[in-house]
Amino acid sequence: MNIIKCNKGHIYDADKFSACPHCSNMKAGIHIDDYLGEYQQQIPTVITRNTETDDYDLNKRRKTVGFLVCIKGEMLGEGFLLREGMNDIGRASNMHVVLADEPTVSRKRHACITFDSEKGTFTLYVDPDRGDIFCNGVQVKDSCQLENRALIQIGECVLSFMAFCDSSFTWYTTEG
């Protein structure tokens, strides 16, 4: 890479361009602002609580209900938040618990943890065809209730589960 500055102060890679592409565009009558035209606009960067949008419903933000900490595997020491509703576990970046560095974990939904706010219980769900998921050393065939400090093994990765919400506290507890 041969980065240089032209006489007008534009910076460009001389290995890719024989002359300054910015100056060449100006000579040809092409201005970057004109070229972008209608696509340039002000984009709001702050969404207030009173703003209604389809993309952001700040009043329905998923609250934290528990945690997972990797105690064995490639992601040793990493922590993961569990939120209200479903928490898909896998290697893909669109999973709620992303175990990206764990080669023995599937990309898509290897397992799922849910929280029942009425009962204050957590449930680990697995695909019945998978034989490599254990909870406290017992193979999980379909689902199992999670107790605090349960050890969940998915492939070669072991996660320690810790509840934040339980029968004594949920985000929905109301005080009189």
What digits encode the pLDDT tens for the residues 59-91? 578 899 999 999 999 999 999 999 998 999 999
Q: With bands split at pLDDT 50, 70 and 90, how would you rate the model's confidence at 176?
A: very low
Q: Judging by DSSP bridges, how do beta strands 3-5 and 11-13 pair with one another?
A: antiparallel
> What was the pLDDT predicted at 158?
98
Given a cut of 60, whether residue 167 has pLDDT beyond it is: yes
Choice between 148 and 21, residue whose per-residue pLDDT is larger: 148
pLDDT of 150: 98
Question: What would the pLDDT profile of 18-54 be if each residue is shown by its tens digit?
Answer: 888 877 766 655 554 444 444 445 555 666 665 555 5
Higher local confidence (pLDDT), 26 or 155: 155
* Residue 61 confidence (pLDDT): 82
Strand partners, 13: 3
Cα–Cα dist 83/108, whole Å: 18
Residue-range domains of the chain with CATH:
3-39 (no CATH), 62-163 (2.60.200.20)
Under DSSP, the state recorded for 61 is P
Q: Cα(57)–Cα(93) distance, rounded to whole angstroms?
A: 22
